Amino acid sequence: MVKTRLPNGLTVVSEHLSHAESVSLGVWVRAGSRDECSRLSGISHFTEHMVFKGTHRRTAEEISAEAEGLGCDLNAFTDKEYTCYYTRALPEYTAGVLDIIADMLTDPMLSESDAANEKGVVIDEIRGVADVPEDLIIDETASLFFGSNRLGQSVAGSEKTVSAFTPDDVRRCMASRYRTENIVVAAAGKVDHHNLVALAEKLFAPAEGESEKRTFDEFGPVLDEKIIRKDVERAQFTLTVPAYPVGNNRRYALAILDTVLGGSSSSRLFTEVREKRGLAYSVGSYGTAFADCGTFTIYGGTAKDKVEEAVSLCKDCARDICGGVTEKEADRAKNLLRAGILMSGENSEARMNRIARSEIYNLRHVPQEESIERLMVVTTDDVRAVAEDLLGGERYAKVVITGK
């Protein structure tokens, strides 16, 4: 991995992959839902939509047509701590694709008519999430667990907030967050780093004025219970506890714990809840890490009249794993995780995401060989210590979506 910090504050990171015939390219911005006040909840996501609506040089149709003419599709996503604009292209089209993305991010049109149309699109997206319990419970879990912390806000915002957005709100969001010091240009594949640096320096000019620094709300997890009743056929539930921030050294032991508890088809949750009891079609666990904190969640979907039984059994599995994992379980988890690291390393988009996220969080890039080495030296005692730390208190933020 090669990194260059430009005089204008923008960072360029790249990784040349000798086997690749294409380039995965991403422009990452430190702008997410945790940067928004309650009135502007969803503005980062709305901004992502709006920049695709055209610039002073290109209409929305011309953006799509030009990108397709270069043999690629442009896409984007917004999360709680960043927004990413990305594509995969042939090496000879890298300059053209980056020119389009830079044009979108530095000179968008942001018209009143486009804003009015896009509000309808985003509101429809919000309603779509509300109609899918498996998606809705993610937002509801964050809302309960984080309480007044802005990490609890939905990335998409609400119908109320989105309805009130104006082009000026988008302009202010971009003026404060879409600045070169908040932008990382990342690429992996058949990429020439020096050429990429020259392109980025040409296309991204430093913004005027002061940058808005990210602030972190006080974190105090809400370990309470929330029941949501909707017209659903199956119930969904989550059990969430505080975990570790991005880059924490315990992430390797946590990855093994997650795999043994609920992250694989031989996991304890899958075996006990689904295979032995038939209580749930879907059941498992996952961790989420942010700059200053993290979460660990057990989830499941089950019949409405089986929710409490399934939840109770999940808690039993969590309690039992605090007593430790076996060497056989740990070895199996390590082999699964090691294979995942190596296989993702063959994918240029995964490599681009990995180096970009390290830079977004101002962390040292950890090569996959080092990640594997640090994973393989984790002991069962390390895993037990993490289990006791996260699950030993037996208190959870519990969310259930069930029938009326």
* CA dist., res. 327 & res. 58, Å (int): 59
Q: For the whole model, what pTM was predicted?
A: 0.96
Check: CB of residue 216 under 8 Å from CB of residue 291.
Answer: yes
214 falls within a domain: no
In a domain, 243, yes or no: yes
Domain boundary residue, one of 170, 203, 236: 203
- CA-to-CA distance for 402 and 404, rounded, in angstroms? 7
Contact 302, 279 (CB under 8 A): yes
Each residue's pLDDT, cut to its tens digit, for the chain (404 residues) gives 999 999 999 999 999 999 999 999 999 999 999 999 999 999 999 999 999 999 999 999 999 999 999 999 999 999 999 999 999 999 999 999 999 999 999 999 999 999 999 999 999 999 999 999 999 999 999 999 999 999 999 999 999 999 999 999 999 999 999 999 999 999 999 999 999 999 999 999 877 766 778 999 998 999 999 999 999 999 999 999 999 999 999 999 999 999 999 999 999 999 999 999 999 989 999 999 999 999 999 999 999 999 999 999 999 999 999 999 999 999 999 999 999 999 999 999 999 999 999 999 999 999 999 999 999 999 999 999 999 999 999 999 999 999 98
The gap from C-alpha 382 to its chain's centroid, in whole angstroms, comes to 26
Q: Is 161 a domain residue?
A: yes
CA-closest candidate to residue 30, choices 366, 292, 295, 362: 362
Query: What is the domain extent for residue 392?
Result: 225-403
Q: What is the CATH number of the domain that holds 293?
A: 3.30.830.10
CA angle in degrees (0–180, nearest 5) for 217-220-238: 115
Chain centroid, CA 302 distance in Å: 26
One domain, residues 130 and 194: yes
Among 169, 203, 237, give the residue marking a domain's end.
Answer: 203
Same domain, 360 and 292: yes
Catalytic one among 15, 21, 36, 48? 48
H/E stretch holding 88: strand 83-89
149 and 65 both lie in a single domain: yes
With CA atoms as reference, report the closest residue to 193 among 380, 66, 25, 386.
Answer: 25
Residue 210 included in any domain: no
User: Rounded distance, CA 253 to CA 333, Å?
Assistant: 10
Structure tokens at 339: 């294979």
216 domain residue, yes or no: no
Are 258 and 391 part of one and the same domain? Answer: yes
- State how far the Cα of 355 lies from the Cα of 365, in Å rounded to an integer: 6
Measured in residues, the chain has a length of: 404
Is 250 among the domain residues? yes
Tokens representing 90?
A: 């042939």
338, 375 Cβ separation under 8 angstroms: yes
Shared-domain flag, residues 130 and 188: yes
Active site residue 48: yes
d(CA 246, CA 383): 18
pLDDT recorded at residue 353: 97
The answer to whether 168 and 108 have CB atoms below 8 angstroms apart is no
CB 313 within 8 A of CB 273: yes
| pLDDT the model gives residue 206 | 79
Residue 316 and residue 276 share a domain: yes
- Are residues 267 and 358 both part of a single domain? yes
The number of folded domains in the chain is 2
Alpha carbon distance 285, 297 (integer Å): 5
Please report the beta strands in 124-233, taking only residues with DSSP state E, as ranges in sequence order.
183-189, 225-230
Q: Strand 294-303: give its sheet, edge to edge.
A: 225-230, 397-403, 234-243, 294-303, 280-289
